[in-house]
Amino acid sequence: DVKVTQSSRYLVKRTGEKVFLECVQDMDHENMFWYRQDPGLGLRLIYFSYDVKMKEKGDIPEGYSVSREKKERFSLILESASTNQTSMYLCASSLLAGGRDTQYFGPGTRLTVL
Amino acid sequence: LAKTTQPISMDSYEGQEVNITCSHNNIATNDYITWYQQFPSQGPRFIIQGYKTKVTNEVASLFIPADRKSSTLSLPRVSLSDTAVYYCLVGGETGANNLFFGTGTRLTVIP
């Protein structure tokens, strides 16, 4: 089974802090994704990566950056956390890009910014 | 761009068939329709995928009309364990910048 793990289930940070969310997948997938999930808004794509060191902006990249130095690891970075970034963050991976292939999700990290 | 629209919530009694519809009026020719299920404190997981007509697996059926502007996820004889949020995703074969998840439908199964 594909396994996608996220470094923390719950995280509390203060406004202005730099925050790192880590995601690791064990199936040698080319593609990795970061979403945020908010009530009434569903899942919104922040960034995705289709190869090591390659990244593309999603629907809501403002305030975020990403890093993919190794194939199995995809990091989401909040350079200066703000209260409106309080949310559930979900990482996913897939072998192929696009909507044709199944995305495998991690359990999520619930981030609270005070 | 294929934005998606789903009902926010639905209730059903155990043992009934549940149909959840997703509207995607601007679906592109090469877009596929995929449904995911999400339980509390977990990430979404794949249920079923289709391109046109009908697809059935051991969990659900997916009905897609000829114009493909909507799709219906059908869950036969739901049980309490089917209580979850169901998401519709529309997207093409390549690239992730045209992937659109719906806002999700919260299904509550009542004993």
Tell me how close the Cα of A43 comes to any Cα of chain B, in angstroms: 6
**Chain A residue with Cα closest to B34:** A99
Question: Quick one: B9-110 is in which CATH superfamily?
Answer: Immunoglobulins (2.60.40.10)
Domain residue extents for chain B = 9-110
CA distance A100 to A92: 14
Tell me the chain A residues in contact with residue B87 when contact means C-beta distances shorter than 8 Å. 42-43
* CATH of segment(s) A4-96: 2.60.40.10
Mean pLDDT per segment of 10 residues, for chain B of length 111 residues? 84 97 91 93 94 94 96 96 95 70 92 94
β partners of residue A25: A4
**Chain A residue with Cα closest to B95:** A98
A104 in Cβ contact with A6 (< 8 Å): no
CA distance A107 to B1: 28
CA distance B58 to B13: 20
Q: What is the pLDDT of residue B1?
A: 52
> Across the interface, do B43 and A48 touch by the CB < 8 Å criterion?
no
pLDDT at A42 over 60: yes
pLDDT digits (tens, 9 = 90+) for A90-109: 999 998 877 778 899 999 99
Average pLDDT over residues A61-88: 97
pLDDT digits (tens, 9 = 90+) for B1-31: 558 899 999 999 999 999 999 999 988 888 8
Chain B touched by A97 (CB under 8 Å)? yes
Q: What is the pLDDT of residue B99?
A: 75
Query: What's the N-to-C CA distance of chain A in angstroms?
Result: 37
Number of helices (H) and strands (E) in chain A: give both, helices first: 0, 11
**Chain A residue with Cα closest to B37:** A105
